[in-house]
């Protein structure tokens, strides 16, 4: 059996989006996740995944034939430059602007950009300001 390495966050194990146009979504998410330095994990007939995100067509067994409704996903960015790179990559890969990079009033130092993906999901990259993490992620090997 092949060994797999997974990195998971603190609260969410995974998210699934069921999309109308898998090729458009794969191009979009490959670009924005690449800007965030998150590699694509794998793909198959009717699906792809990266880290905690799983994206499929409505015909995929995992989708149960229904598109997901409009969602808001926020990806962590290492710094302001990464937020800006995310925004540029999204716009160049089929995303639509939903809030240019900038400070938000959520808390001091909250720097984010918002885009709509090909299915209209509100996708955000956020940098919360200077902080020290105890670890970059939970690392699971099996």
C-beta of residue 43 within 8 angstroms of C-beta of residue 33: no
Mean pLDDT of 36-55: 93
SS3 sequence of 88-137:
HHHHHCCCEEEEEEEECCCCCCCEEEEEECCCCCEEEEEECCCCCCCCCC
How many residues in the chain? Answer: 142
More confident residue, 81 or 141: 81
C-beta of residue 42 within 8 angstroms of C-beta of residue 49: yes
Q: What is the DSSP letter of 79?
A: S
Please tell me the pTM assigned to this model.
Answer: 0.83
pLDDT for res 64: 72
pLDDT for res 134: 74
pLDDT for res 127: 93
Handedness of CA 57, 60, 65, 68 (dihedral sign): negative
- Give per-residue pLDDT as tens, 61-92: 767 777 888 899 999 999 999 999 999 999 99
pLDDT for res 60: 85
3 — pLDDT class (breaks 50, 70, 90): low
Model confidence at 1: pLDDT above 80: no
- DSSP bridge pairs for 56: 18, 47
Residue from 114, 65, 58 nearest 86 by CA: 114
6 — pLDDT class (breaks 50, 70, 90): low
- Give per-residue pLDDT as tens, 79-132: 999 999 999 999 999 999 999 999 998 888 999 999 999 999 999 999 988 877
Integer Cα distance of 101 and 124 in angstroms: 10
């Amino acid at each position: 059996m092949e060994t797999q390495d997974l990195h998971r966050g603190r609260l969410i194990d995974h998210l699934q989006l069921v999309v109308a146009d898998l090729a458009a979504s794969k191009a979009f998410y490959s670009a924005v996740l690449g800007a965030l330095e998150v590699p694509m994990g794998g793909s198959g007939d009717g699906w792809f995944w990266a880290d905690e995100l799983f994206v499929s067509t409505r015909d995929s067994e995992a989708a149960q034939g229904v598109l997901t409704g409009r969602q808001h996903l926020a990806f962590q960015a290492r710094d302001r430059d990464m937020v800006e790179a995310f925004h540029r990559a999204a716009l160049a890969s089929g995303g639509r602007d939903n809030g240019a990079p900038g400070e938000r009033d959520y808390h001091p130092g909250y720097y984010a950009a918002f885009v709509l993906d090909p299915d209209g999901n509100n996708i955000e990259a956020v940098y919360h300001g200077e902080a020290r993490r105890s670890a970059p992620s939970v690392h699971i090997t099996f």
